[in-house]
């Protein structure tokens, strides 16, 4: 992975760097919060499962070994206060999407928000995916997460797809 660009957040002491195996418990805690928050928004649309932290850590441990994947952390000392996960995805005929970078997760602990941590993580993810050959980066966010949508638009993302969901009768 290429070196992260220099720069700092508004809060001194936050370091942005590639995720290390020892970071995975902290990242998994944040990933589990992300899962639970989505599930709370719409339990019919977003799944949840037992032992989320263990599942997240195991999944991302495998992703750390893949050249097409990028896992970044924002750390204050030994505490992980944010993370981002993305990877290069191949052409997808069903989604009518050519090979690209996909930002799958970005999450910042509530106590570290409003300090440009998410912005830095997204900027670094874009740079890392571009260095791996991504011609573009795409992402999805919940319709209710208007703060994230504002951030993504400030960073140059544009709306290209709108997901609609209808529950089928369960008889």
Asked if pLDDT for residue 10 goes beyond 70, the answer is no
Asked if pLDDT for residue 77 goes beyond 60, the answer is yes
Which is higher by pLDDT, 4 or 17? Answer: 17
Q: What pTM value is reported for the model?
A: 0.90
Q: Is residue 168 part of a domain?
A: no
The whole-angstrom separation of Cα 126 and Cα 133 is 11
Q: Is residue 5 part of a domain?
A: no
Question: For residue range 57-75, what is the model confidence (pLDDT) as tens digits?
Answer: 999 999 999 999 999 999 9
Which is higher by pLDDT, 114 or 141? Answer: 141
List phi, psi (to 5°) of 22: -70, -15
| 16 within 8 A of 126, measured Cβ to Cβ | no
Q: Is residue 160 part of a domain?
A: no
The whole-angstrom separation of Cα 141 and Cα 146 is 9
Asked if pLDDT for residue 1 goes beyond 80, the answer is no
Range of the domain at 26: 14-154
H or E segment and range at residue 104: strand 100-108
Mean per-residue pLDDT of the chain: 90
Q: Is residue 18 part of a domain?
A: yes
The count of structural domains within the chain is 1
Which is higher by pLDDT, 169 or 143? Answer: 143
pLDDT at residue 108, as a whole number: 93
Length of the chain: 171
Q: Is residue 9 part of a domain?
A: no
Q: Is residue 162 part of a domain?
A: no
| 129 within 8 A of 88, measured Cβ to Cβ | yes
pLDDT confidence of 48, banded at 50, 70, 90? Answer: confident
Q: Is residue 165 part of a domain?
A: no
Q: Which segment of 7-11, 26-30, 50-54, 115-119 scores lowest on mean pLDDT?
A: 7-11
Asked if pLDDT for residue 4 goes beyond 70, the answer is no
Q: Is residue 8 part of a domain?
A: no
The whole-angstrom separation of Cα 110 and Cα 57 is 20
Q: How far is CA 55 from CA 50, 51, 58, 69, 103, in A?
A: 9, 6, 5, 17, 19
């Amino acid at each position: 992975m290429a070196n992260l660009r220099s720069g700092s957040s508004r809060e001194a002491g936050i370091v942005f760097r590639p995720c290390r195996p020892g970071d995975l418990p902290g990242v998994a805690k944040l990933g589990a919060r992300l899962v639970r928050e989505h599930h709370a928004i719409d339990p019919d649309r977003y799944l949840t499962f037992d032992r989320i932290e263990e599942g997240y850590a195991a999944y991302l441990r495998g992703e750390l070994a893949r050249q097409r994947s990028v896992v970044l952390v924002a750390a204050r000392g030994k505490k992980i206060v944010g993370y981002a996960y993305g990877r290069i995805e191949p052409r997808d005929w069903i989604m009518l999407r050519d090979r690209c970078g996909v930002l799958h997760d970005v999450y910042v602990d509530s106590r570290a928000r409003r300090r440009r941590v998410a912005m830095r993580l997204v900027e670094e993810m874009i740079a890392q995916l571009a260095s791996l050959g991504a011609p573009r980066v795409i992402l999805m966010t919940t319709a209710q997460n208007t703060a994230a949508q504002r951030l993504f638009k400030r960073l140059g993302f544009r709306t290209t797809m709108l997901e609609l969901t209808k529950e089928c009768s369960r008889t």
